[in-house]
Structures are given as C-alpha cells and as structure tokens.
Chain A
C-alpha cells in the first residue's frame, strides 16, 4: 500500500519561503510524477507542479517564477519551495502521486494528508 506523508512549517510571514516535504512509503518511486496541489480555505484545487524521479519538472505558469520542486530519490522524498509568500498563498497544500500506467491515462491516485500553511504577519 502506498502512503504519502507530508510535513513542514504551517505559519509563515509575508515574503518568507514555504518549504514542505513529502515522503513516499510503499510502491515504486520511479515511473511516477510527484505532484503538489493546493487548496485555499473554502475554495477549489490548484495544481502547483510536478517532478519525476529523474528530476524533470513541470510548473503551473502562474506560479512558475516562485516555485521549486525537487526530489531526493535516496530517501523517496520530494519537496516544494514557494518563495515571496503573500496572504493569497494561504492554503492546504497536498502532495500526490501522478500515475501513468499501461492504459496511458494519467491521474493522481495517492494523496498526502494535507498541510495547512497560513501566511500572516
């Protein structure tokens, strides 16, 4: 059974940098797209970006200038950094596994538990 466990600071000040980590337990780490998504309180989901085990990244164009996603294959972990925070970045941040199998149909099949990040002075 695959489990994603995420951790990181939950209260940050404007202009600071968010840093979250996601550990992957069970299953293969290679062959997937490791993804970050966020959800402002009471609102919908926003895809932030993804990385594969080889380190190739793909970011949401609206966040690209502030986002860095990295991977540590030795620890089966991946990380999110989001810089120059404002109150608009307050959200629950989720990590998830992007799966593309023999069907060729991509989807996010396993999710972390979510981390509420609040940006406030």
Chain B
C-alpha cells in the first residue's frame, strides 16, 4: 500500500512544495514513479526510478528517497504546477498512491 501526504497542500506561487509517498513495506527505488495530473487531462510522467526526471520536465521538479519513504519536491511553484500528484510503485502488480493535491493558497 502507498500512502501520500498531505492530502492537500495549499501554497503560493514561488513557494517550495514537498510531497511525501510512503510504502507499507520497503520497495526498490527503481520502481518508484511520480505523475502529475491536471483537471480533465491524462496523467503526465514526471519522475521515474525515484529521482530521474522524464524528458522535458523542468529541473524545479526533483525526486528522492529509498526504502519506504520517497519525496517529490517542487523548488519554486509555477502557476502551471498546481495539480494532483500521484506516486506509483511499478512492481509486479503496479499500484498508485491516493494522490496529493497542490492548490493555490
């Protein structure tokens, strides 16, 4: 099971966002993925292998972590970053976390 916290993060543009994804048991960081989803759109790949940015993803997005605790950090929020973020464990039976909504304060 993947748990994401907080459920909602209310921040202002320019602020730093720190999103947590916690696994109920240790997982390989190779299989930890982050996606961004905006209303009415399909999810978009952000980070794979816990810390590798996908093609075209700005460097304000970074991922870290190992074992059971993983973090997605957005260093300075841009207006287009307000969205829902999902972590995924891409194991033999892939599983998504419940998501963290980043909204404008």
Note all chain A residues with C-beta closer than 8 A to B45: 107-109
Which of chain A's residues has its CB closest to B4's CB?
A: A44
Interface class of chain B by DSSP: mixed
Q: How far is the CB of A66 from chain B (nearest CB, A)?
A: 16
Chain A residues with CB below 8 A from B88, complex form: 45, 47, 108
Which residue of chain A is the closest to B46 with respect to CB atoms? A107
Size of the A side of the interface (Cβ < 8 Å), in residues, is 22
Binds B, one of A70-78, A80-88, A110-118: A110-118
- Chain B residue nearest to A103 in the complex (CB): B49
Cβ of A27 within 8 Å of any chain B Cβ, yes or no, is no
- A44 to chain B: which residues have CB within 8 Å? 86, 96-99
Interface size (B, Cβ < 8 Å)?
A: 24
Q: Is B24 an interface residue (CB 8 A)?
A: no
Q: Are A106 and B52 closer than 8 Å at their CB atoms?
A: no
B42 touches A111 (CB 8 A): yes
List residues of chain A with CB within 8 A of the CB of B95: 47
Interface of B toward A, CB cutoff 8 Å: 30-31, 33, 35, 37, 42-45, 48-49, 52, 54, 86, 88, 90, 92-99
9 closest A-B pairs by beta carbon, nearest first, are A105-B49, A107-B48, A111-B42, A45-B96, A106-B90, A47-B94, A105-B48, A107-B33, A44-B98
